[in-house]
Amino acid sequence: MILLTGATGFLGSRLLEQLLQRGDRVVAAKRSTSGLNRIQHCIDHPSLELFNVDAEDPRVLFERHCIDTIIHTATEYGRGAAPLYSILNANLLLPLRLAELGIQGGVKCFINTDSFFNKGGNSYSNLLNYSLSKKSLLAWLDKLAGDLKIINVVLEHIYGTDDSESKFVEHVVRKVGIEQVPNIALTHGHQRRDFVYLDDVVQAYLKLVDYGRTQEFRLETFELGTGQATQVRDFVTLVKDLSHSPTTLGFGDVAYRPDEIMCSTADITRLERLGWKPSVPLADGLRRILDTYRR
């Protein structure tokens, strides 16, 4: 059985759907206030149990079920007025609590979702509390790795349908491709990002679940993207072209941040050795999103 955090979120909901489809039994850990719209079609599945981690002691999960894998996708970015406690609870305290209980309950593997923000030891100032909490979790997981196999997934710029509009890709697709607003303010757009489609990310996680169940290791890191970087300028222009949008792209209207990440690309060699490779080119992924929203 798999314990999945963040099951109502952008990544977690799609991962939950695919785990159930392939026959896994899943406990989906969520907050009692979490919306269920993304997983409404799954909640009556006989292999799914929903669990409110803010209302019940998670210890009972490990007493009630034989959990072999924990997948942590729950994330609090801290945008807006999110208090520090909520950031630390989602990104550090909850996963550590589950990992410790997992060790006591015989869990084989803990799969952590990390971010390209923290590659190279950096702490991204725009999301500083988020970055620090994720780095702290990885340091603690390293200490636990002698008792629990740890897979750390360094996720690049994931995109797909039904993400939060606070995210760059969703914001651009909505404003330029769907609403076709008169103009949109942007940086010069010379940053290079590794845009990876949601369905490809989910397939990589499924490979890693199987890897964690069958192989022996202590802590292993897998970078997850396409292995190719695209300039943000080219990405936004592609959205405009595919949607035939009249929106004026205001490149240079927004200044770069002082510690702007100018290039990030995944080294997917280790995932390719597991038999995974990305299958959705950027233009195809954007067409899927645009077509879905138009319908």
Q: Per residue in 166-200, pLDDT tens?
A: 899 999 999 999 999 999 999 999 999 999 999 99
Amino acid at 204: A
pLDDT at 271 over 70: yes
Mean pLDDT computed over 34-50: 94
Q: Where on the phi/psi map is residue 147: left (φ > 0), alpha (ψ -120 to 50), or beta?
A: alpha
In order of 4, 99, 106, 160, the CA distances from 147 in angstroms are 20, 10, 9, 35
pLDDT band at 121 (very low <50, low <70, confident <90, very high): low
Q: What domains are there in the chain, each with its CATH number?
A: 2-155 (3.40.50.720)
Q: What is the pLDDT of residue 128?
A: 81
pLDDT of residue 166: 87
Contact of 114 with 138, CB cutoff 8 Å: yes
Instruction: Please tell me the distance from the alpha carbon of residue 272 to that of residue 117, in angstroms, as a whole number.
Output: 22
pLDDT averaged over every residue in the chain = 94
Task: Indicate the SS3 state at residue 66.
Answer: coil
Section 71-76 average pLDDT: 93
Q: Give CA–CA dist 213/199, Å, rounded.
A: 22
**pLDDT tier, 161 (very low <50, low <70, confident <90, very high otherwise):** very high
Percent of the chain with pLDDT over 70: 97
> Are 154 and 267 within 8 A, CB to CB?
no
pLDDT of the residue at 84: 87
Q: What is the mean pLDDT of residues 120-131?
A: 71
Mean pLDDT of 246-273: 95
Higher pLDDT: 110 or 129? It is 110
Is residue 263 predicted with pLDDT exceeding 70?
yes
How far is Cα 167 from Cα 275, in angstroms, rounded to an integer? 30
The model's pTM: 0.95
Helices (DSSP H) in 166-258: which residue ranges? Answer: 168-172, 198-214, 232-243
For residues 142-160, give the mean pLDDT: 96
Per-residue confidence band for 122, with pLDDT thresholds at 50, 70 and 90? low
